[in-house]
Amino acid sequence: MDDHGRSKPTAPTLYALDTNVLIHDPNALLNFEEHHVAIPMTVLEELDKLKSGKHGVAAECRQAIRLIDQILAGAEPEDVEYGVPIQRGKSGPCGRLSILMSKSAAPVTWLPENLNDNKIINQLVELKSRNPGLSVVLVTKDINMRLKARACGIDAEDYHTDQLVDDVSLLSKGYHDMSGSFWDRVSKVETRQDHGRTWHRVQLTDNLPSVHVNEFILDEQGFVGWIKAIKDDELVILDMHQEPLLHQEAWGLKPRDIHQALALFALLDPDIHLVNLSGAAGSGKTILALAAAIEQTMVSKRYRRIIATRSVQGLDQEIGFLPGTEAEKMEPWLGAITDNLEALHMDDESTHGSVDYILQKVPLQFKSLNYIRGRSFQQSLILIDECQNLTPHQMKTIITRAGNGSKVVCLGNLAQIDTPYLSAPSSGLTYLTERFKDFPHGVHITLQGVPRSILAEYAETHM
């Protein structure tokens, strides 16, 4: 099977990559194994137009262009047209890369060439007419372009190489709800006490679900277990008492249910360096993260500052036209942060005064994702909102900005993706959940919806 889950053909397939694929993953052309990867000239022109500036897309374009140049450097023009072998380190060359141009004196024009997408499809139609036996596939994140290509007789696919799951409903929630008692499913257990904590060594059986390190087990009897190790056919579980979890407090905020309690516990645990919170609007992701962040910078002094950022569709272009400093430009986009600050202080005599005081006293910095590249944040709590709108490549770029003593908190809702070329399975939030599900210092929790009002509850069920 190839990267796209299809049976490998007897001859290599030619995959033509659209611009949005290289923006989504600048290293995409390396992920087609022994096949032929073609970059249409129109795609190179689009990358050239988008490569300037400091916005995120420009950085992806520059990286893709550098990789193309690295592979084609020194090749003769006829080799570039035919395909240059892609060198893969010690394993040697595998697959070819070429630049695709129109070769016909009277090019095939199935579609009007007023759009770049149409130009690319016409090139592929012409290529296939000149090579009837060649298997040609267009790879694009644009659904409409895939439909047009198929209508013109060209196979078209989404880019799936970085998509780790097909069905997001199968994603781990970070915990396992079990009916009845968890202990009824266990045949053998050894229990020990260590520094006031209770540990259970449980033998794996068919009655237990597939689990990962740092997931939680919840049952209807009130048992909460934290899976700390999986050894051969045994689980090592830390017994978490439900009552203390529900009575945790961070900057005056207490969890409303056990799922929020688990999230707050992970946010406050110094041994957890990555917390990934997903859930519907109103589930408490942002307010829990903000309360824990302020608690650990103002009270326990565990972190020196809070770095708050988010992915916003259109921010790359629009931030430059807003007046003021980077922080002042970012503030309108981070209203969720200030809204939750108000919620944390709504019982104060002067909510507005309290929020202004906190913003002055708390080392809270609003940063644009465009300017995070190349930076390293030490002793910081990095709060990333709207992670569902990030690509896996962007997510990796941000996560690697965490310096010594820092913690990263990612928040997102897969039902609210605003980026046109992203779907839930290919979202950076999904990628992060899957990639870090066995990370010993990471916790993922899917929070349950807590209605904001009677109106919100009615809208959720009737709209």
Domain range annotation of the chain: 14-158, 253-462
Q: For residue 78, what are its two tokens?
A: 């006829």
Q: For residue 379, what are its two tokens?
A: 């002793």
Report d(CA 336, CA 286) in Å as an integer. 7
Higher-pLDDT residue of 349 and 46 is 46
Is CATH 1.10.620.20 what the domain over 14-158 is classified as, yes or no?
A: no
State yes or no: pLDDT of 332 exceeds 70.
no
- Where does the pLDDT of residue 328 fall: very low under 50, low under 70, confident under 90, or very high at 90 and above? low
* Residues belonging to the chain: 463
Q: According to the model, what pLDDT value does residue 315 have? A: 43
Averaged pLDDT, 56-60: 82
Report d(CA 213, CA 402) in Å as an integer. 22
Averaged pLDDT, 94-119: 83
Q: According to the model, what pLDDT value does residue 6 have? A: 46
Options 3.40.50.720, 1.10.3720.10, 2.40.40.20, 3.40.50.300; which CATH number does 253-462 get?
3.40.50.300
In 3-state terms, what secondary structure has residue 392?
helix
Report d(CA 142, CA 120) in Å as an integer. 13
Using only C-alpha atoms, the chain has a radius of gyration, in whole angstroms, of 26
- Where does the pLDDT of residue 79 fall: very low under 50, low under 70, confident under 90, or very high at 90 and above? very high
Residue 298's CB is within 10 A of a number of other CB atoms, namely 15
Report d(CA 23, CA 421) in Å as an integer. 10
In 3-state terms, what secondary structure has residue 231?
strand
Same fold, 14-158 and 253-462: yes
- Where does the pLDDT of residue 360 fall: very low under 50, low under 70, confident under 90, or very high at 90 and above? confident
> Amino acid identity of 309?
T
Which residues partner with 408 through β-bridges? 274, 382
